[in-house]
Amino acid sequence: MIKLFVGLGNPGPEYEDTRHNAGFWWIDALARELKVSLVPERSYWGLMALTSIHGQSVWLLEPQTFMNLSGKSVGALARFFKIQPEEILVVHDELDFEPGVVKLKLGGSHGGHNGLRDIHAQLGSPNYWRLRVGIGHPGHKGEVASWVLKKPAPDQLKLIEDAIAHSLKAWPEMVAGQMDKATLAIHTTKAPRPKPARKPAPDAAQPAAGEA
């Protein structure tokens, strides 16, 4: 079960609307959903909220250390409350996915993401859950640094916001530890096609009054 939801980003108004802050956007949306407020917690170098869901403590965290030191915040909170890596979900921007795509996975490499790199180091394990929010790729490796620190175009922003809203619906399954169910819900982006209504046979007798 997920006890700690972490969103990655950079603090400060100049970074607020940039692609690298997609993780913050997701946590902000979850905080609204759970009707909690994130407040500064100096012990964990971040903005934090604590709530209880079905008797289970659940933490929301936005590290305020800047992206490259995200693990300092995540590690401090996880160690203090004895939260295991597999009980942590880290939401972050993903260059390899187009805007509108969002995927859930457990473990794996940091893929060059500096926030994940530091979390790997601080937790001493890659075995935490990641929710990867697609932001697209600029097409050239040399442009990545400026790409993630720019605001997405309005049409891209709409796709990212829709992906966040879609994946957010799976938080109850995550808290309940139903990660297979959460994964299926997040990875299913198109609504199933409705089955065509069955037409009654043409000679079917109409029910008499009182029998319907």
Per-residue confidence (pLDDT) for residue 25, from 0 to 100: 98
21 annotated as belonging to a binding site for a ligand? no
114 annotated as belonging to a binding site for a ligand? yes
Q: What letter represents residue 179's amino acid? A: M
pLDDT tens per residue, range 104-157 = 999 999 988 999 999 999 999 999 999 999 999 999 999 999 999 999 999 999
Which residues in the chain belong to E strands, given as ranges? 4-7, 39-41, 46-53, 56-63, 88-94, 102-106, 129-134
What does the alpha-carbon distance between residue 25 and residue 33 come to, in Å, rounded to a whole number? 12
Domains of the chain plus CATH, in order, are 4-144+159-187 (3.40.50.1470)
Catalytic residue check, 137: no
Determine contact, residues 31/49, Cβ cutoff 8 Å: yes
Does the pLDDT at position 204 exceed 70?
no
Does the pLDDT at position 210 exceed 60?
no
Edge to edge, what strands does the sheet with 4-7 contain?
Answer: 39-41, 46-53, 56-63, 4-7, 88-94, 129-134, 102-106
What's the mean pLDDT in 99-105?
Answer: 96
pLDDT tens per residue, range 174-191 = 999 999 999 999 999 765
What does the alpha-carbon distance between residue 116 and residue 90 come to, in Å, rounded to a whole number? 8
Does the pLDDT at position 85 exceed 70?
yes
C-alpha separations of 133 from 20, 178, 206 in Å: 10, 20, 54
Which range has the worst mean pLDDT, 53-57, 137-141, 193-197? 193-197
44 annotated as belonging to a binding site for a ligand? no
The proportion of the chain whose per-residue pLDDT surpasses 90, expressed as a percent, equals 86
68 annotated as belonging to a binding site for a ligand? yes
- Give residue 52's Cα distance to chain centre: 19
